[in-house]
Amino acid sequence: MQFTIYQIPLLLSSIVSAIVIYLLLKRKPSPGSRCLIVCMACAFLWALSDLFNLGSLTLSSKLFWDNVSYIAIVIFPIAWIFFVLEYSGKPKNLNKILIIFTSCFSFFTLLAVWTNQYHHLFRNEIFLTEVSGVIVFGKTYGPLFWLFIVYFYLLMIIGVTMLFQSFNLSNSINRKQKITFILAIFGTWAASLLHISKIIVSPVDFTSISFSIMGVILLIGITKYQLLDIVPVAYTNVFKNMGDGIIVLGRLNQIIEINPCMEEIIGIENNRACGKKIDQILENWPELKKEYIKLSSKTYPVKTTLKKGKKTYELNISNIFDSRNFLIGYLITLHDITYRKRIEDKLVESNKQIDGLNDTLQIVNKILRHDLLNKLAVMKSALWLYEENKDKSILDKLDRSIDGGIELIGRIGELESLILNKEELKPIPLKKAIEEVSATIHFPVTIDGDATVLADEALFSVFENLMRNAIIHGKTDRIKVEISSKKSI
């Protein structure tokens, strides 16, 4: 067993990885936390295996610890890719496909590593060599190793790409999370490439040492930038499930993202719209395009209403600023207010009807007061004449006036019912209506012609008022009514 100063970085890497695992286990489960624990467990095992490898003196013991390290090496990229998938909220069916592929490939790789002495596809040759006064495990790589390296970095690149995509609309904390992840993973890449390419010859695999740096970066991310507390999948779920249509634009009016509700409203999918100018996707909705051009020049949030087909939307346009108060984009929101607008229109119509009803009731009230006053005046005069002359014919006139008053009140009641129940106008033969009215005033009326009109019970009061005014105020001795019509009704 040999002890060298080069074992200290490996020991530190193991300790830091263990601390990160401990912190992750203490936290509440969150998207990606389990996979990240597996990643750090791989880092711990990898660094620990390299530590014992460097301390061993025989070829067989070094080969054993090198094989043990590959348990962590083949699992790490799988844990990484699934961490990114879970963290960014990618489809579960994609996870199943990757599970099958990566598990099979990793299993056969690990099997090839432990059985290399029979086929030499992973290591062509193994030997002991001395570097900087330290006995190390030397090897030349076979074709299967290079195939695994391609597979390893392919998964890492896919994960980083998806991580970038998940932060399209990230805030300042999310961006710091992303930087934390990228720094952590690129550090291990750089160390691995330095070791494989032998640009720097050292007794220690730089990949193992880089895990201590990766652990420190992740530790900072967990404690300072709420790593795993604020995740893109949470943002994605909120953004996609919002009932309002949303378009997020960049500073140059390019589309950053459209939520499903807006896709349905404007009839274009997010993947087809992203990157295009807002003008291009609003060609089929010129009203929205016009409003956007007009309102986007404002420096404060603005809103207006907009119609599309049978639906009415409330359009909101607001500016997006970064932490330094620089304009970085715009937010367009369409809120469906069709139901609210329909209720508002009904309220307006109801108010108009109420105003019309008030006007009608005022007219009815005037007619009722006028006609009843006339009836009462006639009754009072008849009673005075009867007291003076004791003429029974005057009682007949009084009786007819009382009947006329009762009939008037009845017609006013019918008119009230018509107004309140919003009944439709009915056909009334005009000649017959005038004859009924003339019978109550006991005055000769001549009627020429006839026609049917659409009216209500107020028509009788109108004719009665006209006739009485002609008799009382016009001092006429006869009334002649001529009726003509161009239509049947």
pLDDT digits (tens, 9 = 90+) for 191-214: 777 766 666 667 777 776 776 677
Q: Is the pLDDT of residue 169 over 50?
A: no
What span, in angstroms and rounded, lies between the C-alpha atoms of 97 and 308? 42
The secondary structure of residue 254, as a DSSP letter, is B
Structure tokens, 482: 């001529």
pLDDT at residue 143, as a whole number: 94
Q: Is the pLDDT of residue 30 over 80?
A: no
CATH number of 7-234: 1.20.1070.10
- Kindly report which listed range (134-143, 165-174, 362-371, 384-393) carries the lowest average pLDDT score: 165-174
Q: Is the pLDDT of residue 261 over 60?
A: yes
Q: Is the pLDDT of residue 172 over 50?
A: no
Question: In terms of pLDDT, which residue wins out, 53 or 2?
Answer: 53
DSSP 182-218: HHHHHHHHHHHHHHHHTSS--SS-HHHHHHHHHHHHH
pLDDT at residue 489, as a whole number: 60
For 114-141, give the secondary structure using H, E and C. Answer: HCHHHHCCCEEEEEEEEECCEEEEEEEE
Q: What is the rounded average pLDDT of the residues 110-136?
A: 89
Q: How confident is the model at residue 460 (pLDDT cuts 50, 70, 90)?
A: confident
* Beta partners for residue 135, in sequence order: 130
pLDDT at residue 455, as a whole number: 80
CATH number of 426-489: 3.55.50
Q: Is the pLDDT of residue 99 over 70?
A: yes
Task: For Cα atoms 198, 204, 205, give the angle at the middle one, nearest 5 degrees.
Answer: 60
Question: In terms of pLDDT, which residue wins out, 173 or 322?
Answer: 322
pLDDT at residue 218, as a whole number: 65
Q: Is the pLDDT of residue 417 over 70?
A: no
Considering the chain, what percentage of its residues have pLDDT values greater than 90? Answer: 10
Residues in the chain: 489
Q: Is the pLDDT of residue 299 over 60?
A: no
Q: How confident is the model at residue 52 (pLDDT cuts 50, 70, 90)?
A: very high
Structure tokens, 177: 């999370």
Cβ pair 186, 157 in contact under 8 A: no
Mention every residue, 6+ apart, whose C-beta is less than 8 A from residue 136. Answer: 54, 62, 128, 129, 130, 203
pLDDT at residue 173, as a whole number: 46
Architecture per CATH, domain 242-336, reads as 2-Layer Sandwich (3.30)
CA dist 3 to 50, 58, 136, 417, Å?
13, 14, 12, 108
pLDDT at residue 441, as a whole number: 74
Question: In terms of pLDDT, which residue wins out, 275 or 479?
Answer: 479
Residue 390: which region, alpha, beta or left (left: phi > 0; alpha: psi -120 to 50)?
left
Q: Which of 399, 476, 407 is nearest to 436 (CA)?
A: 407
Could you identify the residue written with the tokens 């009072």?
Answer: 380
DSSP 407-426: HHHHHHHHHHHHHHHTPPPE
The secondary structure of residue 28, as a DSSP letter, is P
Summarised one tens digit per residue, pLDDT across range 176-188 is: 556 666 666 777 7
pLDDT at residue 233, as a whole number: 53
Q: Is the pLDDT of residue 414 over 70?
A: no
Work out the mean pLDDT of the chain and round it to a whole number: 77
What span, in angstroms and rounded, lies between the C-alpha atoms of 173 and 193? 30
Q: How confident is the model at residue 170 (pLDDT cuts 50, 70, 90)?
A: very low
Considering the chain, what percentage of its residues have pLDDT values greater than 70? Answer: 72
Could you identify the residue written with the tokens 């099997």?
Answer: 111
| pTM (predicted TM-score) | 0.52
What are the structural domain ranges in the chain?
7-234, 242-336, 348-423, 426-489
Phi, psi of 153 (to 5 degrees): -75, -25
Q: Is the pLDDT of residue 289 over 50?
A: yes
Q: Is the pLDDT of residue 236 over 80?
A: no
Q: What is the rounded average pLDDT of the residues 134-138?
A: 84
Q: How confident is the model at residue 310 (pLDDT cuts 50, 70, 90)?
A: confident
What span, in angstroms and rounded, lies between the C-alpha atoms of 274 and 247? 10
Task: Give the H or E element holding residue 291.
Answer: helix 286-295
What span, in angstroms and rounded, lies between the C-alpha atoms of 306 and 288? 7
What interhelical angle do 206-224 and 33-55 show, nearest 10? 150
Q: How confident is the model at residue 171 (pLDDT cuts 50, 70, 90)?
A: very low
Q: Which of 262, 332, 342, 231 is nearest to 291 (CA)?
A: 332
Q: Is the pLDDT of residue 485 over 90?
A: no
Structure tokens, 358: 């008030």
- Kindly report which listed range (55-64, 302-311, 314-323, 359-368) carries the lowest average pLDDT score: 359-368
